Amino acid sequence: MSDEIEIDIDDLSRRMDGALASLRTEFASLRTGRASGSMLEPIQVEAYGQMTPINQLGTVNVPEPRMVTINVWDKGMVNKVEKAIRESGLGINPQLNGTIIMLPIPELNEERRRELTKVAGSYAEHARVAVRNVRRDGMDQIKKAKGAGMSEDDQKLWESEVQELTDKHIALIDKALESKQEEIMQV
C-alpha cells in the first residue's frame, strides 16, 4: 500500500460498529415477555419544551419479572409519561398509582410474537443499510484516492478490505437478528 494515500479503515469500522450498537439498543427495546427497563428507552416525552427520555423524568425499576414501575419525579409529568407509553406501540397498558406508573407485562401471544420478529427484522435491515452506507463512503474515498494517484493494485487491496469489513458487520447483524428472533419466539 502506498504511504502517501491512506484510507481510514478504523473510522469505517467504528461507524459500522456504531450501526451494530444502535441495533442492539433497538433490540433491547423489543419486549420478549420479560420485564426490562430498557424497553422504555426509545420512548420520548414532551417535557419542559423538549423531547425527553422517560429515564430522565423518573426512576425506572423492575420489581418483579412481569412488572416495570416508573416513579415520576414531577407530578405534572405523570399524565404525559403515561400518554407517551400508551401511544408508543409497546402494547402495554399503564396503571397509575399517584406518581408511580405501573406497567404490567402481559404474556405474548403467537400473533404478537410474529409481529415482533418482523419489527426486529426491520431494525436489522436499517442496520444493514447503515453499514452499506459506510461501505459506500469508503469506496468513494478509494475512488478519490485513485484520482489522486493511488495505484490500481492498492485500490483493489483497499476495496477488498472495505468489503471484508462490510461482510463481517453484516454477518454480525444477521447473527444478532437470529438470536433476537429466537428469544422472541421462545414461550
pLDDT digits (tens, 9 = 90+) for 35-62: 777 788 878 898 888 999 988 999 999 8
182 pLDDT more than 60: yes
2: pLDDT confidence band, cut at 50, 70 and 90?
very low
- All cell numbers assigned to 150: 493511488
Nearest CA to 169 among 129, 141, 137, 139?
A: 129
187 pLDDT more than 70: no
What is the C-alpha separation between 114 and 54, in angstroms, rounded?
A: 27
DSSP letters for 128-178: HHHHHHHHHHHHHHHHHHHHTT--HHHHHHHHHHHHHHHHHHHHHHHHHHH
Beta bridge partners of 95: 102
Clarify whether residues 131 and 181 are in a common domain.
yes
- All cell numbers assigned to 166: 462490510
What is the C-alpha separation between 65 and 71, in angstroms, rounded?
A: 18
Count of domains in the chain? 2
Domain annotation covers residue 4? no
Clarify whether residues 133 and 89 are in a common domain.
no
Clarify whether residues 74 and 120 are in a common domain.
no
Please give the residue range of the domain that contains residue 92: 34-104
Domain annotation covers residue 3? no
pLDDT per residue as tens digits for the range 133-154: 999 999 999 999 888 888 889 9
pLDDT per residue as tens digits for the range 101-139: 999 887 778 888 888 888 899 999 999 999 999 999 999
CATH of residue 152: 1.10.132.20
Q: Name the domain boundary from 104, 139, 155.
A: 104
Higher pLDDT, 89 or 48: 48
Domain annotation covers residue 91? yes
Clarify whether residues 121 and 84 are in a common domain.
no
Clarify whether residues 125 and 177 are in a common domain.
yes
Clarify whether residues 46 and 97 are in a common domain.
yes
**The cell 438470536 sits on which residue?**
179
